[in-house]
Chains A and B, each alone.
Chain A
């Protein structure tokens, strides 16, 4: 599907979604609370069929966090980027690991690196950081480690 068609289709599904221009792929901004509403049809709708979540990450914009999901379809080869603004102090968004299983590990990584709380995640524990880590989230911009900080 072309970007224009995707755009109309997504507006149908979620009228509150806004779109960003620029870049190769259609970028959709959604509210965290709307994300699950959009995610399910994105995966299950036969004409969209975004079955391949190839990148899930988070960007710390200091004032807020922004979740970024890159989705693609192995059938139609179209790609879409979903972004969702999260509150910096209490970030939380619905987990999508039951829709795309790969999200389970990626969400765990984002959880420990950015402190994003994924609601209804089956197994939200530390994956990379050592057990019992109580410091700040290392990938946040304000992270300071007095001992091991790498400055270049």
Chain B
């Protein structure tokens, strides 16, 4: 039996992994200046695609691949809405969350005559360990690309000074398209980590607000990948600690009511966003449409 500390650490990593993918997916889009409220929807579509493909092909890895593609598909719709047709990014993002929350149970019904769940996966069809370290590899890649590559420079300029990027002869919307699609793939993997790792099927509302927590982590991390991922770790820790504090007696008294234990992650989120995050500065051009005639 592992010691309690290692168990807590493992549970923290398990809880944090889907959030890390989510926050990285959000970072990809937002650093390039595109608001990404659709994270919840991206997680759901990735989770759904992963569960369906893992069940059909009996392969966890094909499932994980499909999770990325599921996120990509929804991100492509998002790109069309906000980059091609210049829809309001907040409204479009929320709309896609609703679309994913509604469409996935309908597809379950069509595919499996089930009102919101895909068939259970066996242990061999699940993707349990790889996503736990995979997300940290991605954090390292994101950090490296943003800091040391030309592409990282373009990415940052698309969010800070799109006009300057345009003047340098790089297509702003092209950079943003790549950022949104990459973010979709990464967030889709977060969904796969949920349906193939934390659970053994897709079920309705599987993301359960994790997309929004990932967004909070992104803001807490001031739109930088490493601090944002560490914020996810904090949220994961709160969840893991909460599981272990339930029913624990302090001294000889009654156990702490479960209500108090379960508000812990939310209290931490609020404290973090209101207090320590301070005046987090988003990318300057976040949420604006780029066109040669000037920013709107």
A and B co-occur in one complex: no
Interface residues of A (CB under 8 A from B): none
List residues of chain B with CB under 8 Å of any chain A CB.
none
